[in-house]
Every structure is written in C-alpha cells, then in structure tokens.
Amino acid sequence: MLFFRNDYGQGCIPEIMEYMNTTNGHSFTGYGMDEICQRAKEAIKKHIPDYDVDVHFIVGGTITNQTIIKACLKPFEAVISCDTGHIATHETGAIEATGHKVIPVNNYAGKINPSDIRKVFDTHMLSYEHMVYPKMVYISNATEYGTVYTFEELKEIRAVCDELGLYLMMDGARLGVALSTVDYTLNDLANLCDVFYIGGTKNGALLGEAVVISNPELKPYFRFVMKQNGAMLAKGWLLGIQFLGLFEHDAFFDYAKHSVALAQKIQSRLQDLGYALFMKSDTNQIFVNVTKEQYQFLSENIDFEIWEKCDDHYVIRFVTSFHTTEDEVNALFTYLSEASVKKE
C-alpha cells in the first residue's frame, strides 16, 4: 500500500543514521551538555549570523509548545492562536493543562489576522484583571493547512505584537517546507519572532525540535522549565545527532524542497484530473475533496488521512516526506486517475 498519511511515518535521513551508527559506541555527557549538541547548535546558528540566539533541543512538538509557553508566560497570561492552530486543536489541552488559556480566533487559510489580535487584546483590556492577559501570539509556519506566511504578513503581525507588548511564537514543526517556498530565512525569523522552533520530526529526523530563543527576556532559566516539564532528555546527544545530520551540510533544506516538489506535482495532477481542492497548499500537505465512492477505492490502495467528513463527500490529505519517491507519486497518479471517473 502506498503511504501518504504523514511526514513522520518513516525513520530518518541517511545522514542522521550514519551519525547514529558512528557514535553508538561512544560515551557522552547527559542532558544536552555534550559536544554533539554543541556542534549541532553551532550548525544551526550559522544560519542566524546576525542575532544572538539560544538553542535547545526537545523531543517532540507538543511538549515543545507546552514548554515554551510555560516558560514565557506568567500564570495569569494567555496565548492567542487561530482556531486551526495545533495548540488549539490537536494537543489535548496541553497548554490549558499548564494553566494558560488559549484564546482562539478565526483562521484565514490557516493564518492569523493582525486585526483579530488587536480585537482580542482590546476586548480583554475592558475588564483588565478580571480576564486573562493576552501576552503571546502563536502561529504555525507552515500552517495546519499547508499554507505559508509571507514576509509582509509576518512583519504586520510583528508590528502589532510590538505595539501591544506581545511575544510572537512560531511553531515550526514544518518550518523546513515553509522556508523552501519563501524569500525569508532563519536569520529573518530570529528578528521577527521572540521564539520559534525548527521541526526535525517532520523533516527527516527520528525525533526532535530545536527551540530558538532570540528575545533576551525569555532566555534565562529555560532549562529549568525544560527539566520541570519532562522535556530534558537524559541521552540528549541523540537529539544533537538529529540536528547535526540535518544542518551540518544543509540536508534540512534539501529534503524539504524534495517533499514540497513532489507534493506540488500531486496537487497539480489532482487539478488536471478534475478534483476539487479543499484548499490550495504551498507545501507538502495536499487537501482534496473526494466522493465517498472515490474514498473507498483510494483507501484500499493508499494510506492517507481523512481531514473532514461531510454529508456527501470527504476531505482527505496526502502528505509527502523525505522518504517519498517519484515512483510512489507516479503510482498515486494511477490510482487517482482510476478514481476520478468514480462518482456517487
């Protein structure tokens, strides 16, 4: 069966596995204080030459979001997110479990609108200490719909945050594929965001996210919160290996471009075959409307995810990864062609 369910369903890129094999018999200091982690941090910082950033490695996305927000906010402070944001939909109330409210606003193709940020802030100021204080804006890039913020959109959000005294946090679980489609860089993100993270799990690593903190206010004691939150891995060098493999020779960017290129071929082919896209994607997640009969046929041959169930059709998602091949995409095209003539 063809696999297009997600971008974390396979192991890791060869560059990481090579490091895993060559370091397996070595001994290292624990908790991320080893030389592998230091080399990995420097490899990332080479892409952020203009700013003094702290880098920390954490195992996965949910605990990364939870740790960052817990470290940045006071107990009475809240985070603004669009209603499709990962912290608002797919993290089982992890942020609320730390005592911080997530304030959802409408999404626009998966993105947050600066005017909605201002509206939330102004509304909460009316009652002031009787309501949680919105202190952070959370955005995902790429978004949960595969869309990407433009440079201008990010600057507009940054301007509102500066005006209102809010932190800007970027969830970069799929930052690799986002950066492969835009004209800004990690260096630019260090300027625009107070804190962001670089996703490894969904871009060819076995596991791991790299937190990048640029705001000096947020740097002190972050490791204390990591430890308290269960986010500090004893065998920390295993996380360092992931990002050394991704960044020492820029494999991170190469594999992201690979997955986006194949996904965009799929999206174009779907349109050529007459399928209706649920939403046009810029990256490696492709969303399409199919009839129930088409779904039944495709699901017998392809592993993918149902995104929404509607009365007369399904929205399904295809995702490419570092592991996806041209042959697999061509095989997918065959099934899509056969299914395109099936109607209910």
**What's the chain's Rg over C-alpha atoms?**
21
Q: For the segment 60-74, what is each residue's pLDDT rounded down to a tens digit? A: 999 999 999 999 999
Q: Which distant-in-sequence residues (6+ apart) come within 8 Å of 178 by Cβ? A: 141, 142, 148, 149, 172, 282, 283
Residue 342 pLDDT = 67
Please, what's the b/e burial string for 197-232 (b: 16 or more CB within 10 A of its CB; e: otherwise)? bbbbbbbbbbbbbbbbbbbeebeeebbebbeebebb
Give the containing element (helix H, strand E) for 238. Answer: helix 237-247
Q: For the segment 134-161, what is each residue's pLDDT rounded down to a tens digit? A: 999 999 999 999 999 999 999 999 999 9
Q: Across the chain, what does the average pLDDT equal?
A: 96
- Does 142 sit behind a cis peptide bond, omega within 30 degrees of 0 on the bond before it? yes
The answer, yes or no, to whether residue 344 has pLDDT greater than 60, is no
The answer, yes or no, to whether residue 330 has pLDDT greater than 70, is yes
Listing from the earlier edge strand, what are the strands of the sheet with 285-291? 276-279, 285-291, 313-319, 305-309
Residue 201 pLDDT = 98
Here the tokens at position 123 are 């509304």
* Burial class (CB within 10 angstroms; exposed 0-12, middle 13-18, buried 19+) of 115: exposed
CA-to-CA distance for 338 and 344, rounded, in angstroms? 14
Domains, the chain, in order of start with CATH, read 2-6+252-340 (3.90.1150.10), 14-249 (3.40.640.10)
Q: pTM of the entire structure?
A: 0.96
Residue 127 pLDDT = 86
Residue 93 pLDDT = 95
Residue 310 pLDDT = 87
Residue 314 pLDDT = 95
Is the CB of residue 287 less than 8 Å from the CB of residue 277? yes
Q: For the segment 290-303, what is each residue's pLDDT rounded down to a tens digit? A: 999 999 999 999 99
Residue 343 pLDDT = 63
Residue, of 311 and 84, whose pLDDT is higher? 84
Q: For the segment 98-123, what is each residue's pLDDT rounded down to a tens digit? A: 999 999 999 999 999 999 999 999 99
Q: For the segment 221-246, what is each residue's pLDDT rounded down to a tens digit? A: 999 999 999 999 999 999 999 999 99
Instruction: Quickly count: other Cβ atoms within 10 Å of residue 102's Cβ.
Output: 22
In 95-194, the DSSP E strands lie at 102-105, 133-140, 167-171
Phi first, then psi: what are they for 111, rounded to 5°? Answer: -110, 165
Instruction: Quickly count: other Cβ atoms within 10 Å of residue 301's Cβ.
Output: 15
Is the CB of residue 224 less than 8 Å from the CB of residue 91? no
The C-alpha angle with vertex 169 and arms to 163 and 172, in degrees rounded to 5, equals 145
Averaged pLDDT, 308-321: 94
Residue 185 pLDDT = 98
Residue 332 pLDDT = 98
Q: Angle at which helices 237-247 and 35-45 pack, to 10 degrees?
A: 30
Q: For the segment 243-267, what is each residue's pLDDT rounded down to a tens digit? A: 999 999 999 999 999 999 999 999 9
Side-chain half-sphere CA neighbours of 306 within 13 A: 13
Torsion of CA 26, 29, 34, 35, to 10 degrees: -40
Residue 311 pLDDT = 83
